[in-house]
């Protein structure tokens, strides 16, 4: 139906099929809510968390290894118990999750920018450029992602002077995961680009005389972003897991500023002493976060795929 | 005697999130044995919906909400899926538009036929096979026995459609519903398939419903016609009466919009029944307006010169040259387009006519030959400044209005793109004013600038494409099948617009089409192409009256007969 006046941005947003599909899919709403709560809780950790786990003044070794509040010996101010150094588990999880999400987002962004750029160029220019870029991606895909991340991470750490290692560990992890991620983005973008490049609006732009970079940037790129968005969401979950794995292996974020993965690793050492909560709660937090993000990605893939509707 | 099929008061609803769409309202229709009934209408008229409703194959969420469908006196509504499946195979046959997708590519023709025969009759094994051969022979497939072992991809489009017809006949039905059975086929094959359907109808005393948008098809095959418009049957009657002396306003404008093959008209009259709200063409003072600026050295020189053009595509890659499979898409083509004229390029699909257009536009590079645009060679050094400059004088309008506009850009930005890129205006305010003028000029109104392409219909989108092409202030316009994706009444308005613009701006047009009547209405000169080669170049009227090349004569003979059409 056409109206007499053009729709405002808000009306167009409400009219959008994707928004409509979202509001009619309970799973997606739950997943989005959990993700949103998790992200907000982590971002505002300094405001919400009862303690600051990085402030030595608030930590007392005497309170170390306390069980959750509802178990005998637990103390009410430590809802989920404390770790071996006497840090409040709930606070550490919030701060840790913050780091995990930050690393995940940054790594996905890096992989996305790299992959989408190379993918569009590969799909639009074609020929030798395409062959070289895609073969590199193929070779990289034959190596398990986590191995590659460990490798890049190791090289990155070794390249840094000793005193900077802890400080820059987080950036090294981001780069390591981002560099492992790009082939997915490149492949999807390349495919979408090749479809778009044959459409008549691109031919029209070529006839107008626009240079290649302008066609790629203004015409092709905006039309390839849908599948990229899906991969980015699922990629976020994978990146969070990758960071946790690196940290669990002791290759990632140092224990002084722990991420969820580091927490799980530290707790793992105490698991057989019966101090299960040090590893259990961070693990649950990780699973819930990844599961919610994955659900969201799954819904998005269905909603954004015109063939499935 | 009961009617073979009697539909009365049929309503079909599609509940959607934006409210219920009434795809059919109060439709009544009867079909007798041995009769071809044409259901004609433009896109969205609900004609396919009727066909699908009869056999209960409405796409979800569509449903029949009122009325009755009596087939040989029995009500078809409310039957169970199992019962309907028997009716569909045994008593009502279907022929769909695209023979590509209505056959299973992984099964041989024989296996598909035998499967259907065994499902609908008592014949088994070799008896069913014999019957399959018989059916193939009936639909005009020679060496039927050998061809049972062939797969669909080994058949041409027309042959595949014959197989589909054989499949529809397999259950020995009394009624056949053919939904756009020839739309995906070339004209020469279209005529054969229509003859076949008509012959089968007479021989077997079948009732046939033929759903189509094409008046030419109706004129050739139908005995009676029902005209549909926005879900309603507006007029039913004998084919001669409907085409020759239509009563309803809509039918009148529909018939008037059909391009005449028999003579050239100045413009199409009274065709604005559907796309209402298009303003009449307003002339602008070309001397003072921006559109007319920088239009020096106009004359009757040569706009496009093409000499010995060759281009082949690689079908199968190989390292060694002799192992590659090549397709000679354009083979030694030469012609000249005089400035200010409309030059038609005609041919069936695969004749290379669009490839020639894309070569001229610079989208492909020729293997050999030269292309000159306004005297400037653009093929030897296509990226030189002079070649680029010459190409700016050339713009193109594409076939598919849905993919020729970037869905993520506002109409404003789409049309303004060439203006901004070449800095054709002093400032942004002037750009906006000119885009508004352009949109007004093509009949959309300046308000359209703020919308996105998906808010427009196919014809309106084509107008946006035209506005975009004009924004470069071109002197040559290449139109690649600009109206073949459009409804006939919309086609007429777009063709009128193109004619007006050409006259006003003195444009040279290269008009590519498979549709001879359209070409006759538009062109001064016509070139006929086949298999990448040019058969004949002649003045339009000369070609239609005295075609010299054998293939041109063949094409002209295949044009749908317009005898029944009255003086519109």
Strand, coil or helix: B314: strand
pLDDT of residue A116: 95
Strands B325-338 and B302-316: antiparallel
Count of Cβ atoms closer than 10 Å to residue A19 Cβ: 13
pLDDT value at A4 more than 60? no
Phi, psi dihedral angles at B137 (to 5 degrees):
-65, -40
Chain B residue closest to A219 (CA)? B406
Cβ-nearest to B398 among A2, A203, A208: A203
Q: Scanning every residue of chain B, which has its alpha carbon at the shortest distance from the alpha carbon of A195? A: B403
The pair of structure tokens assigned to A257 is 């500023």
Q: Is B463 exposed, middle or buried (0-12, 13-18, 19+ CB in 10 A)?
A: buried
Residues of A in contact with B396 (CB under 8 A): 203-204, 207
Cα–Cα distance, A157 to A173 (Å, whole number): 9
Angle of CA points B149, B154, B158, to nearest 5°? 110
User: In tens digits, what is the pLDDT along chain B, a chain of 568 residues?
Assistant: 578 899 998 998 888 777 788 888 889 999 999 899 999 988 878 888 888 888 888 877 888 888 889 988 888 888 888 888 888 878 898 888 777 778 888 899 889 999 888 888 888 888 889 999 988 988 888 888 888 888 888 888 788 888 888 888 888 889 999 988 887 777 778 888 888 889 889 988 999 999 988 888 888 889 999 999 888 899 999 988 888 888 888 888 888 888 877 777 777 765 555 444 455 556 666 666 777 655 555 555 888 889 888 888 877 777 777 777 778 888 889 999 988 889 999 988 778 888 999 999 888 889 899 998 888 888 888 778 888 888 888 999 998 888 899 988 889 999 999 999 988 888 888 899 889 888 888 888 888 888 888 888 888 899 999 999 989 888 899 999 888 888 888 888 888 888 888 888 888 999 999 888 888 888 999 999 988 888 899 998 888 888 888 888 888 887 766 666 654 4
| Beta strand B525-530 pairing with B533-539 | antiparallel
d(CA A254, CA A240): 16
| Reported CATH class of domain B5-97+174-257 | alpha beta
Q: Do B451 and A20 touch (CB under 8 A)?
A: no
What per-residue confidence (pLDDT) applies to B293? 59
Q: Determine, for residues A207 and B362 on separate chains, whether the beta-carbon distance falls below 8 Å.
A: yes
Give B311's strand partners.
B330
At residue A232, does pLDDT exceed 80? yes
CB atoms within 10 A of CB B415: 29
Nearest to B36 by CA among B275, B163, B151, B205: B205
**B467 vs A contacts (CB less than 8 Å):** none
Cα–Cα distance for residue pair B335/B325, rounded to 1 Å: 28
Which 3-state string (H, E, C) describes B394-422? Answer: EEEECCCCCCCCCCCCCHHHHHHHHHHHC
Identify which of A210, A214, A222 has the shortest CB distance to residue B408: A222
Cβ pair B406:A223 closer than 8 A? yes
Please choose, from the candidates B346, B312, B347, the residue with its C-alpha nearest in 3D space to the C-alpha of residue B329.
B312
pLDDT at B385: 82
Contact B477, B509 (CB under 8 A): yes
Using CB atoms, pick whichever of B17, B398, B422 lies closest to residue A200. Answer: B398
What pLDDT does B277 receive?
A: 46
**A52-56, A208-212, B113-117, B170-174: segment of lowest average pLDDT:** A52-56
CA distance B471 to chain A (A): 10
Residue B361: its chain A contacts at CB < 8 A? 203, 207
- Of the candidates B361, B409, B421, the beta carbon closest to that of A210 is on B421
C-beta neighbour count of B439 within 10 angstroms: 21
Rounded CA-CA distance B251/B225 in Å is: 11
Nearest to B408 among A206, A214, A223 (CB): A223
Beta strands in B387-485 (DSSP E): 394-397, 476-480
Instruction: Give the closest-approach CA distance of B253 to chain A in angstroms.
Output: 24
From chain B, the residues in CB contact with A205 under 8 A are 406, 417
Closest A-chain CA to B474: A208
E runs forming strands in B160-206: 175-179
CA-based nearest residue to A77, from A56, A58, A94:
A58
Phi, psi of A140 (to 5 degrees): -65, -35
B417–A208: do the CB atoms touch at under 8 Å?
yes
Task: Quote the pLDDT of residue B496.
Answer: 86
Neighboring chain A residues of B400 at a CB cutoff of 8 Å: 200
Which residue ranges make up each domain of chain B? Answer: 5-97+174-257, 302-393+474-561, 403-473
Nearest to A223 among B17, B407, B468 (CB): B407
Chain A residues in contact with B465 by the CB 8 A cut-off are 204
The reported pLDDT for the residue numbered A190 is 94
Given this model, what pLDDT does residue A194 score? 92
Rounded to an integer, what distance in angstroms lies between the CA atom of residue A176 and that of residue A178?
A: 6
- Asked if A210's CB is within 8 angstroms of B417's CB, the reply is yes
Provide the Cα torsion B387, B392, B394, B397; round to 10°: 130
Average pLDDT over residues A185-193: 93
Interface probe for B, chosen from A5, A15, A23, A204 (most Cβ of B below 10 Å), is A204
- B97 and B179 Cβ atoms separated by less than 8 Å: yes
Q: What is the CA radius of gyration of chain A?
A: 23
Q: Helix A221-248 to helix A89-125 angle, to the nearest 10 degrees?
A: 140
Q: What is the pLDDT of residue B1?
A: 58
Is 3.40.50.300 the CATH classification of the domain at B302-393+474-561? Answer: yes
pLDDT at A309 over 70: no
Q: How far is A208 from chain B (nearest CA, A)?
A: 6
The B-side interface with A (CB below 8 A) comprises 17-18, 358, 361-363, 388, 391-392, 394-396, 398-400, 403-409, 417-418, 421-422, 447, 450-452, 455, 465, 468, 472
Q: Which of B455, B360, B499 is nearest to A203 (CA)?
A: B360
- CA B191/CA B420 separation, integer angstroms: 49
- Please answer whether residues B412 and B451 qualify as being in contact, where contact means their C-beta atoms are separated by less than 8 angstroms: no
Judged by CB atoms closer than 8 Å, whether chains meet at A2 and B358 is answered as: no
Closest residue of B to A211, CA-based?
Answer: B421
3-state secondary structure of B306: strand
For the beta carbon of residue B204, count every other beta carbon within 10 angstroms: 17
Cα atoms found within 13 Å of the Cα of residue A289, Cβ hemisphere only: 31
Q: Is the peptide bond before B61 cis (omega within 30 degrees of 0)?
A: yes
DSSP sequence for A114-180: HHHHHHHHHHHH-HHHHHHHHHHHHHHHHS-HHHHHHHHHHHHHHHS-GGGHHHHHHHHHHHHHHHH
B294 Cα to chain A: minimum distance (Å): 17
Report the gap between the CA of A237 and the closest CA in chain B (Å): 29
* pLDDT at residue number B560: 67
Alpha-carbon distance of B437 to B446, in angstroms, equals 7
Cα–Cα distance measured from residue B460 to residue B438, given in angstroms and rounded to the nearest whole number: 13
Q: Which residues of A lie inside 8 Å of B (Cβ-Cβ)?
A: 1-2, 5-6, 12, 20, 199-201, 203-210, 214, 218-219, 222-223
What is the model's pLDDT at position B160? Answer: 87
Mean of pLDDT values over A231-258: 86
Question: Could you tell me if B175 and B71 are in contact, meaning their C-beta atoms sit under 8 angstroms apart?
Answer: yes
Calpha distance B139→B192 (Å, rounded): 10
Cβ contacts of A199 on chain B, cutoff 8 Å: 403-404
> How close, in Å, is residue A183 to chain B by CA atoms?
26
Same CATH topology for B5-97+174-257 and B302-393+474-561? yes
Whether A38 has a pLDDT exceeding 50, the answer reads yes
**Helices first, then strands: H and E counts in chain A:** 13, 0
d(CA B75, CA B55): 12
Domains within chain A, CATH numbers bracketed: 97-308 (1.10.3720.10)
**Which of B406, B450, B456 would best serve as a mutation to test chain A binding (most A beta carbons within 10 A)?**
B406
Q: What is the mean pLDDT of residues A65-81?
A: 75
pLDDT in tens, B471-502: 988 889 999 988 888 888 888 888 888 888 88
Instruction: Output the CA torsion sign for B323, B327, B333, B337.
Output: negative
Q: How far apart are CA A173 and CA A27, in angstroms?
A: 32
pLDDT of residue B275: 47
Distance CA B463, CA B471 (A): 12
Spell out which residues of chain A touch residue B17, defining contact as CB-CB under 8 Å: 20
Residue of chain B with shortest Cα separation from A1? B455
Q: Which residue of B has its CA nearest to A224?
A: B408
Distance CA A171, CA A168 (A): 5
The two tokens of residue A103 are 């690393």
């Amino acid at each position: 139906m056409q109206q007499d006046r053009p729709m405002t941005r808000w009306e167009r947003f409400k009219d959008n099929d994707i928004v409509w599909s979202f509001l009619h899919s309970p799973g997606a709403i739950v997943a989005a809510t959990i993700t949103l709560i998790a992200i907000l809780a982590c971002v505002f950790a300094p405001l919400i968390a009862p303690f600051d786990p990085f402030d030595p003044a608030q930590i007392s070794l005497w309170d170390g290894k306390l069980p959750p509040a509802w178990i005998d010996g637990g103390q009410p101010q430590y809802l989920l118990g404390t770790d071996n150094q006497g840090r409040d588990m709930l606070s550490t999880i919030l701060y840790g999750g913050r780091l995990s999400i930050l690393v995940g987002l940054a790594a996905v962004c890096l992989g996305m920018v790299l992959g989408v750029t190379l993918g569009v160029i590969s799909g639009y220019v074609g020929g030798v450029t395409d062959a070289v870029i895609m073969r590199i991606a193929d070779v990289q895909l034959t190596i398990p992602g986590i191995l590659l991340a460990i490798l890049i991470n190791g090289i990155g750490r070794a390249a840094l002077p000793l005193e900077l290692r802890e400080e820059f560990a987080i950036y090294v992890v981001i780069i390591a995961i981002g560099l492992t991620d790009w082939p997915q983005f490149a492949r999807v973008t390349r495919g979408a680009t090749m479809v778009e490049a044959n459409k008549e609006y691109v031919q029209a732009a070529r006839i107008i005389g626009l240079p290649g970079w302008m066609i790629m940037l203004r015409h092709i790129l905006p039309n390839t972003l849908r599948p990229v968005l899906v991969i980015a969401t699922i990629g976020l979950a994978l990146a969070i897991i990758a960071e946790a794995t690196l940290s669990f292996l002791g290759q990632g974020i140092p224990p002084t500023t722990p991420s969820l993965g580091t927490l799980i690793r530290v707790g793992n050492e105490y698991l057989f002493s019966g101090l299960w909560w040090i590893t259990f709660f961070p693990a649950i937090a990780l699973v819930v976060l990844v599961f919610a993000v994955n659900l969201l990605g799954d819904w998005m893939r269905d909603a954004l795929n015109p063939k499935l509707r | 005697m009961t009617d073979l099929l009697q539909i009365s008061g049929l309503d079909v609803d599609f509940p959607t999130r934006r409210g219920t769409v009434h795809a059919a309202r109060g439709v009544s229709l009867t079909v007798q044995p041995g009769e071809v009934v044409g259901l004609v209408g433009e896109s969205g008229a609900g004609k396919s919906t009727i066909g699908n409703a009869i056999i209960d194959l409405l796409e979800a969420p569509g449903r029949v909400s009122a009325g009755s469908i009596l087939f040989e006196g029995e009500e078809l509504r409310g039957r169970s899926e199992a019962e309907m499946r028997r009716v569909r195979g045994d008593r009502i046959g279907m022929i769909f538009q695209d023979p590509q997708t209505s056959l299973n590519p992984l099964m041989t023709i024989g296996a598909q036929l035998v499967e259907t025969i065994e499902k609908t009759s008592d014949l088994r094994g070799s008896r069913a096979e014999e019957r399959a051969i018989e059916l193939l022979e009936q639909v005009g497939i020679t060496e039927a026995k050998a061809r049972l072992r062939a797969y669909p991809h080994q058949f041409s489009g027309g042959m595949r459609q014959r197989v589909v017809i054989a499949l529809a006949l397999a259950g020995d039905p009394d009624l056949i519903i053919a939904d756009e059975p020839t739309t995906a086929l070339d004209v020469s094959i279209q005529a054969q398939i229509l003859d076949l359907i008509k012959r089968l109808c007479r021989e077997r005393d079948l009732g046939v419903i033929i759903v189509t948008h094409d008046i030419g098809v109706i004129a050739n095959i139908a005995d009676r016609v029902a005209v549909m418009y926005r879900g309603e049957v507006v007029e039913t009657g004998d084919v001669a009466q409907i085409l020759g002396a239509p009563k309803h306003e809509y039918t009148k404008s529909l018939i008037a919009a059909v391009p005449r093959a028999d003579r050239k008209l100045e413009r199409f009259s009274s065709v604005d029944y559907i796309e209402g709200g298009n303003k009449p063409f307003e002339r602008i003072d070309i001397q003072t307006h921006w559109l007319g600026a920088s239009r020096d050295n106009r004359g009757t020189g040569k706009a496009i010169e093409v000499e010995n053009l060759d281009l082949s595509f690689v079908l199968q890659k190989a390292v060694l040259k002799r192992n590659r499979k090549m397709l000679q898409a354009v083979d030694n083509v030469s012609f000249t387009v005089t400035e200010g004229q409309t030059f038609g390029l005609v041919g069936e699909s695969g004749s290379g006519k669009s490839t020639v257009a894309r070569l001229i536009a610079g989208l492909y590079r020729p293997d050999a030959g030269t292309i000159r645009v306004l005297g400037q060679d653009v093929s030897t050094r296509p990226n030189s400044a002079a070649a680029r400059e010459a190409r700016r004088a050339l713009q193109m309008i594409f076939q598919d209005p849905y993919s020729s506009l970037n869905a993520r850009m506002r109409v404003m930005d789409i049309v303004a793109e060439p203006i901004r890129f070449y800095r054709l205006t002093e400032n942004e305010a002037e750009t906006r004013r000119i885009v508004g003028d352009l949109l007004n000029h093509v009949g959309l109104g300046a308000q359209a600038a703020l919308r996105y392409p998906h808010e427009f219909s196919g014809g309106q989108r084509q107008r946006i494409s035209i506005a975009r092409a004009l924004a470069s202030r071109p002197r040559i316009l290449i139109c690649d099948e600009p109206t073949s994706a459009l409804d006939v009444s919309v086609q007429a308005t777009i063709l009128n617009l193109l004619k007006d613009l050409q006259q006003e701006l003195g444009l040279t047009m290269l008009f590519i089409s498979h549709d001879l009547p359209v070409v006759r209405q538009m062109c001064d000169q016509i070139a006929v192409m086949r298999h990448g080669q040019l058969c004949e170049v002649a003045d339009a009227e000369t070609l239609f009256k005295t075609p010299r090349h054998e293939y041109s004569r063949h094409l002209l003979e295949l044009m749908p007969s317009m005898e029944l059409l009255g003086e519109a």
